[in-house]
Amino acid sequence: MDRRLKELLRPEVINTMDGLELVARIIVEGFMSGSNKSQSVGVGQEFSQYRNYEPGDDLRQLDWKMYARSERYFVKQADIETNITVKFLIDASRSMTYAEEGLAKFDYAKVLTAALAYLARKQGDTFALYTINNEGVSAVHPRFEQQQFMRFLHTLAASQASGSWRKTDVEQLFIHHGKELLVFMSDMYDDAGDLFQFIGRLKTPRNEVIVFHLIGHMEMALDRAGSFTFKDLESGETLRVDTAAQQKEYTERVKQWIAKIRNVLLEKNISYYTIAMDENPGQMLRDFLRSRKLLMR
């Protein structure tokens, strides 16, 4: 991870409005500085139509299948959805306080959310924030006004993870108006068994849902040798584990768990990304936007 950015990824920075705004700006401006600023790199870009190739056009946009059929050069054009609402939903259950190298999942989710909201603001999109746990939903409803981003950051920075992921009054989240993009960030832990149902209800034929699954290196690999006592952050239950004896079985079960999540969500036409907590948020954002761009070609 970039040293300058890593130095800023501390609770005392992330949990303040000014600090969160600074981190978001560094991530996005760093990404934008390497992009063609005349082109949008956002999430609302969709294929629209073809037009004839003209000298100076980006050769990467040529459609070779169209050339094979017509022996003429065509370029794909894309429209930018200007009337899109981006809703950020964050799992605020206590398991999101799990930390590695001093960085908690909930704080990492705050950084990603702030950066993507910063990008949405630059593109003129409307955006909103919802943090969710068994205690209820804290909301910054979608608005298109100058103070929205500061209001968004103030609420995001002050948010804390507590309680558990349980069924609660979330009906407001299933009310959709116009074209929407919903970004849900979670560790995907759910003892009650309603998380898949919740995510599934977010999806409609008119909107798009993206799930970012935050996971730590130790959660994936269990690569510390010895006997450890693990504590469930939500239930308080403890379990003694000999990591050397159980590492192979554990890592295989984690892989199966992730594969199950991916398959369930893909069947519902929901995009799914695993996010490693030791990954540079700026690089993660870069890769995410690049993959979306490729998918739309």
- 60 and 151 in a single domain? The answer is no
Whether 123 and 67 map to the same domain: the answer is no
Pairing state between β 84-91 and 179-186? parallel
Cβ within 8 Å of residue 252, ≥6 positions away: none
Q: What is the pLDDT of residues 137-192, one digit of tens each?
A: 999 999 878 799 999 999 999 999 999 987 678 888 998 878 899 999 999 998 77
- Say what the pLDDT of residue 151 is: 95
Q: Are 158 and 102 in the same domain?
A: yes
Let me know whether 231 and 250 are in one domain.
yes
Strands, DSSP E only, in the chain? 45-52, 74-80, 84-91, 99-100, 103-104, 126-133, 136-143, 179-186, 208-215, 227-231, 238-242, 271-276
In the structure encoding, which two tokens stand for residue 64, read together?
């070779």
The answer to whether residues 68 and 196 belong to one domain is no
Residue 36 confidence (pLDDT): 47
Task: Provide the number of structural domains found in the chain.
Answer: 2
pLDDT at 165 (0 to 100): 87
Residue 60: per-residue pLDDT: 66
pLDDT of residue 230: 87
Q: What is the pTM of this model?
A: 0.82
Low-confidence spans in the chain with pLDDT less than 70 = 1-3, 33-51, 53-60, 67, 76-83, 167, 293-297
Note down the domain range covering 52.
45-80
Same domain, 97 and 115: yes
Give SS3 for 145.
coil
